[in-house]
Amino acid sequence: MSTEAPTAAFEYASEVYEAVDSTDEQRLARFLTENCTFVYGNSEPVIGRANVAESSKKFMALIAGIEHHLLDVWAFEDVIVSRLEVTYTRKDGSTLTLPAVTIWRVRSRQIDDYRIYIDVTPLFPH
């Protein structure tokens, strides 16, 4: 990705988040390398495209919907960093918008290391 302009990185991030927002874990999986590492917040790493897809499917089952709004995207060498707001729709229809940052290490237009920094504690009140 080192030769890509920031607009190309923004477009790539938009494509990835459209896949995530579709809640179709297989659509997301196409953006991941076979042995990718995925870390969500302070959860344990999930290794491998199939495992990440299954993890995504389980998380999506807990909510009614999700929408990402990209604020900033920075690209340098093989890394893309995004600052965004994520709006979750709960099963009861209420929504919650939270700030997040993602860091992706990209190889051949696929994400090899996917890190999401967000605190979803307010999404699932006790």
Residue 126 within any structural domain of the chain? no
Residue 124 within any structural domain of the chain? no
Residue 1 within any structural domain of the chain? no
Residue 125 within any structural domain of the chain? no
Domain span including residue 17: 6-119
Per residue in 14-68, pLDDT (tens digit) is 999 999 999 999 999 999 999 999 999 889 999 999 999 999 999 999 999 999 9
Euclidean distance between CA atoms 13 and 116, whole angstroms:
13
What tokens were used for 51?
């495992």
Point out which residues pair with 94 in neighbouring strands: none
Four-residue CA torsion sign, 29, 3, 8, 59: positive
Residue 48 within any structural domain of the chain? yes
pTM comes to: 0.90
Q: Look up the CATH number of the domain holding residue 68.
A: 3.10.450.50
- Domain tally, the chain: 1
